[in-house]
Amino acid sequence: MTSKNQEFTSRMESWLSSITSDWPIAAATQSPFESSLHDLLKQSPSLAGTEVEAALWLRLGLIDRAHEIVQNGKRGITAYLHGVVHRLEGDYWNSKYWFRQVRDESLLKTIGTKIIHSLEDSRYRELALELNLILSNQFQFDAFVDTCATLMKTPLKSDTTASMVQQIVKSEWLAMLGILR
C-alpha cells in the first residue's frame, strides 16, 4: 500500500470512528457527519465517483450521491451497492432486482457469510432463522429486503427486529468496505 493510500485509510478510519449515529435502515435527508465526509473526500480526490465513495455515503444513509455513482453499474459490487440504495430508499422491488444483478456468487457468499457470523453469538440468530434470513447456512438477501420493508411499515412492532436489522446492516457495510479496499 502506498503512503498516500495509507494516509487516506487512516483518515477514513478516523472519520468512521467519529460517527455516532445508528446504522441506517432507511434513507436520511441529512446527517451531522455530512460535512466531515465532504472534507474527507476533498482530501482524497481520487475517490470521486468510486464505489468507496458510494459506500461512505451509504454509511450515513444519504442515498442521492451514492445512487449517482452506482446507477450505471451492471454487476458485482456496484450492483450490490445499487441494491442497498434502493433498500434504504424503500423501493424494495428494485432493491431485490439489483441484488439479483450482482451475478457474483463469491461476492454474495462473502457478504452473507460475514453477516451470518455476526449473528452467531448474538440474541439475533434465532430471530434471523425464524424470519428465514438464513436457510441452509446461506444468507437470504431477498428475505432481508422483505424484513426491512415490514419493519418500515410497522416500526414499533419489534425493537429486537430493528436492532437485528441494524446489526445486519453494520456487518453488510463492513463486508462491502472490506471488499472495496
Tens of pLDDT along 81-132?
A: 999 999 999 999 999 999 999 999 999 999 999 999 999 877 899 999 999 9
In terms of Cα–Cα distance, which of 57, 59, 55 is closest to 21? 59
Q: Residue 9 — very low, low, confident or very high, per pLDDT cuts 50/70/90?
A: confident
Q: What is the pLDDT of residue 132?
A: 97
Measured between alpha carbons, how far is 181 from 173 in angstroms, rounded to an integer?
Answer: 12
Task: Please report, for the chain, the start and end positions of each structural domain, with discontinuous segments joined by +.
Answer: 3-180
